[in-house]
Amino acid sequence: MNHPLVKKILFSEDQIDKRVSELTDEIAEYYKKNNLKENTVLLIGLLKGCVPFMANFLKHFKYECQTEYMVVSSYLGGTKTSGEPKINLDLNISVKDKHILIVEDIIDSGITLDYIKKYLYFKGAKEIKIVTLLDKPEGRKIELKADWNGFKVENEFLIGFGLDYEERLRNLPYVAVCDVTKLKDWKW
Ligand code: IMP
Ligand code: MG
């Protein structure tokens, strides 16, 4: 049984797994061709939404990598973005001269990633690439492109596979459209 707040499942666990395996192959190819310093890429996962995607990504990714995480919030916990990113957890290692791959769950307005990209370049990163599981191009408020994306989605509020509504529903094993009409009077 699907969660009762699900309006429609967009991508099943199997579909996601298959797509992530294609993506990681493509990305590993890119890095193999680019002769990175120590043949290593630094993956930076954006918590908390990246967790299921990052785990799946790491399982399939066949290239030397280091992993780090940041918490950057721009959502106020509901279904609308606040538009002012804030770093709540910073990196523990230097990004100077590193090749970075940001691992994100979904790009909507683009504001969060634009902010992080500028921040990491300011800290001396050599190259910053972005992989996102989901891309909502219609939501853009700023010009920002992912270098790789799993799936393009419509401008709807999504839940599951890391995506939350007020910190809940991240544990659904699929990506789904949320039935937002039910949220207002929802009893958890
Ligand atoms: P942006 O700065 O608007 O691109 O915000 C991206 C962040 O907002 C993502 O990393 C998600 O955490 C969150 N987000 C965007 N769209 C959704 C959605 O449909 N459901 C849940 N979270 C979302
Ligand atoms: Mg996120």
Q: Give the pLDDT confidence of 37-59 residue by residue, as tens digits.
A: 899 999 999 999 999 999 999 99
pLDDT tens per residue across span 128-150: 999 999 999 999 999 999 999 99
The residue whose CA is least distant from atom 22 of ligand 1 is 163
87 alpha carbon – ligand 2 mean position (Å)? 12
| pLDDT class of 75 with cuts at 50, 70, 90 | low
Compute the 3-state secondary structure of the chain and give helix, strand, coil in percent, each to the nearest 5: 30, 35, 35
**Active site (annotated) includes residue 108:** yes
Kindly state the average pLDDT of the residues 14-36.
97
What is residue 84's predicted lDDT score, i.e. its pLDDT?
Answer: 77
**Radius of gyration from C-alpha coordinates of the chain:** 16
* pLDDT top residue among 81 and 162: 162
pLDDT at 79 over 80: no
Which residue type does 76 have? L
Whether 30 has a pLDDT exceeding 90, the answer reads yes
CATH class in words for 14-33+40-73+87-155: alpha beta
Structure confidence at residue 74 (pLDDT) = 73
Q: 77 pLDDT exceeds 60?
A: no
Tell me what the mean pLDDT of segment 161-179 comes to: 97
What are the DSSP E strand ranges found in 125-182?
A: 127-135, 148-152, 158-159, 175-178
For ligand 1, pick from 163, 169, 183 the residue to mutate: most ligand atoms within 8 Å of CB.
163
- List residues, by chain if needed, whose CB lies under 5 Å from ion ligand 2: 46, 49, 105
How long a stretch of residues is the chain?
188
87-97 average pLDDT score: 94
- What distance in Å separates the CA atoms of residue 154 and residue 101, rounded to the nearest whole number? 25
Ligand 1: residue of 84, 105, 145 to mutate (most ligand atoms within 8 A of CB) is 105
For the chain, percent of residues with pLDDT exceeding 70: 95
- Using the predicted structure, report yes or no on whether residue 83 has a pLDDT greater than 60: yes
| Rounded-to-integer distance, Cα 66 and Cα 52, Å | 17
Band of pLDDT at residue 73, cut at 50, 70 and 90: confident
Check if 109 has its Cβ closer than 6 Å to any atom of ligand 1: yes
What does the pLDDT read at residue 165?
97
- Mean pLDDT computed over every residue of the chain: 94
Measured CA to CA in angstroms, residue 144 lies from 7, 73, 80, 82, 99 at distances of: 29, 17, 19, 18, 19
CB of 157 closer than 6 A to ligand 1? yes
Domain boundaries, the chain: 14-33+40-73+87-155
Distance of CA 83 to the CA centre of its chain: 17
pLDDT reported for residue 35: 85
